[in-house]
Amino acid sequence: ILNVEQSPQSLHVQEGDSTNFTCSFPSSNFYALHWYRWETAKSPEALFVMTLNGDEKKKGRISATLNTKEGYSYLYIKGSQPEDSATYLCAFSIHYGQNFVFGPGTRLSVLP
């Protein structure tokens, strides 16, 4: 069974702080690494899909990096805002569009 880990489990930051969290995954048979943003009482929404070692993706104040050789990805949020409060999930797949394995998520709370 593939195991995806995320740390920290939860995080509280002040508005304006920058923060980052980690997703660790098996480095063998890698196909893609996904990041999702999941607000309470809503459905997970895709942020990034990364497939190549060294990939960096950016969307506004949020960016992500990928290291497939050592099996980790970082998600960065610059200048956190209260609306960034959510659970951030990463998911790993070894086949095209199949068998996503999700990590347990990092719950971010941004305090005004």
Partner 1 sequence: NAGVTQTPKFQVLKTGQSMTLQCAQDMNHEYMSWYRQDPGMGLRLIHYSVGAGITDQGEVPNGYNVSRSTTEDFPLRLLSAAPSQTSVYFCASSDAGTGSTDTQYFGPGTRLTVL
Binding test (CB under 8 A) with partner 1, winner from 22, 51, 63, 67: 51
85 belongs to the binding site for partner 1 (CB under 8 A) = no
Rg (CA), the chain: 13
Count of residues touching partner 1 (by CB under 8 A)? 23
- Binding segment for partner 1 (CB under 8 A), chosen from 15-23, 53-61, 70-78, 90-98, is 90-98
Binding test (CB under 8 A) with partner 1, winner from 28, 43, 60, 112: 43
Those residues whose C-beta lies under 8 Å from the C-beta of residue 40, and which sit 6 or more positions away, are 86, 87
Name the residue among 79, 97, 106 with its Cα closest to residue 8. 106
Name the residue among 82, 92, 80 with its Cα closest to residue 36. 92
User: What are the two backbone dihedrals, phi and then psi, of residue 83, each rounded to the nearest 5 degrees?
Assistant: -70, -10
CA distances (Å), 100 to each of 4, 12, 13, 103, in order? 10, 28, 29, 10
Binding test (CB under 8 A) with partner 1, winner from 23, 89, 108, 110: 89
- Binding segment for partner 1 (CB under 8 A), chosen from 16-24, 44-52, 57-65, 70-78, is 44-52
Report the interface residues with partner 1, using CB under 8 A.
1, 32, 34, 42-46, 49, 51, 89, 91, 93, 96-105
